[in-house]
Amino acid sequence: MSVIKVAPLERIRRERSSVKWTRFPSDVLPLFVAEMDYPLAPSIVATLVERVQASDTGYLDGPGPLAPAFAEFALTRWGWRVDPGHVHLTTDVSVGIVEALRLAVPANGRVAITPPVYPPFYELVEEASASVLETPLRQQGGGWVLDLMALEVSFATGVDAFLLCNPHNPHGIVWDRPTLEALASLAAQHDVFVISDEIHAPLTHPGVTFTPFAPLALAAGARAVTVTSASKGWNVAGLKCALVIAADDSTNELLNRLPEEVACRTSILGLHANIAAFSCTDWLDKTIEQIVDNDSLLDSLLREHLPAVIYHRPRASYLAWLDLSHLGLGESPYQRILDDGRVALNNGECFGRGGAGFARLNLACSPDTLREAVSRIAALVARVAAGTTAPASITAA
């Protein structure tokens, strides 16, 4: 069993200043935002120190050496042959999505999404002056699938674009190749522009095959871009650097019209951190191993202490999607767990249709933090079942 050394939560709170550690009081376990508790890869730290010592803190106008660095990673990891000339720079995946939508979707256009899904998708579509068309995932065999028949109906109504979450957040679903091929065919048939958010792809679990969408779009004749970054896989989101990659020459010409400021606002430190990250696969593999261990631990803890929770285990990333609707905690289990259990999760309602009663939990923490979180929630459930509301004593995690 791989165990990554994680500093005690008290120390992390003292040393870090992100929202994960400042949004809630210190007695709340923060398991909400998609940010790891793990220390950065040493090679990324060394790269950042080197760039600062060199006073290399100026502006950028393109991906430069990051394009071939990502292309090498994509080829080695997934067999995807990325043309470095199709790689464009942006501050983060959200900005990449908005700017791609602005280029591809007319004002007041429509964009299909598949809830429950990453909540900012709704805001990003609105920011691009378009409207959302919800085409929810379909529950099947205890899990979820893309509802291709419903998507075909949506596409046929004149949808301009589709936001694909691959792997899917919050479920951690890794879409299989036949599903993505069918999607590419539908997009080509109805001329729907596809933006594939693949930021969690580097965190695909062992034994699971991740399939990039761009090569399938190219083969089907569909217009598509991929947005991605090292930010989730290597925990460098605050360094602000991401990539927008055209699937074909025509779409690349479209991306050549991105405003100059899209690249200029990207952090040069983020660019060098991304370059270092994409060659740092040993750290990534060790991190994934710990995440998978935590996934197994959480499954075991829930079966023992909270058997009413339905855990939809991820096949990529470190995000756990939990059905809490059978715990007896009312209409908003998330809020009750935060207020009375002192554990901060992500509210499933924020993920759109189908998310009510669910919550998302962050697995990228120490095993002891998971144990404490389950203990607190189980104690809350027991108190509610017994008809008491006073919180039990909480041990420091």
pLDDT at 211 over 60: yes
Q: What is the mean pLDDT of residues 85-111?
A: 98
At 123-146, the pLDDT tens digits run 999 999 999 999 999 999 889 999
With residue 370 as reference, give the H or E element that holds it: helix 367-386
pLDDT at 2 over 80: no
pLDDT at 393 over 50: no
Q: What is the pLDDT of residue 395?
A: 43
pLDDT at 390 over 90: no
Q: What is the pLDDT of residue 4?
A: 77
Task: Enumerate domains of the chain plus CATH numbers.
Answer: 9-39+281-386 (3.90.1150.10), 43-278 (3.40.640.10)
Q: What is the pLDDT of residue 158?
A: 94
The pTM is what? 0.95
Question: Residue 5 — very low, low, confident or very high, per pLDDT cuts 50/70/90?
Answer: confident
At 271-326, the pLDDT tens digits run 999 999 999 999 999 999 999 999 999 999 999 999 999 999 999 999 999 999 99
Q: How far apart are the first and last CA of the chain?
A: 21
Q: If you search the block for the tokens 């793990």, which residue do you land on?
A: 38
- Identify the bridge partners of residue 131 per DSSP, sorted by sequence position: 110
Burial letters 207-230, b for 16+ CB under 10 A, else e: eeebbbbbbbbbebebbbbbbbbb
Those residues with Cβ within 8 angstroms of residue 199's Cβ, 6 or more apart along the chain or in another chain: 93, 227, 228, 229, 231, 232, 242
d(CA 379, CA 388): 11
d(CA 65, CA 241): 13
Q: What is the pLDDT of residue 388?
A: 79
- Identify the bridge partners of residue 110 per DSSP, sorted by sequence position: 131
Q: What is the pLDDT of residue 16?
A: 96
Pairing assessment for the beta strands 138-140 and 224-228 based on DSSP bridges: unpaired
% of the chain exceeding 70 in pLDDT: 97
Q: Which whole-number Å values give the CA distances from 377 to 77, 223, 374, in the listed order?
A: 38, 46, 5
pLDDT at 253 over 90: yes
At 53-76, the pLDDT tens digits run 999 999 999 999 999 999 999 999
The distance from CA 50 to its chain's CA centroid, rounded to whole angstroms, is 29
Q: What is the mean pLDDT of residues 197-220?
A: 98
Q: What is the pLDDT of residue 397?
A: 42
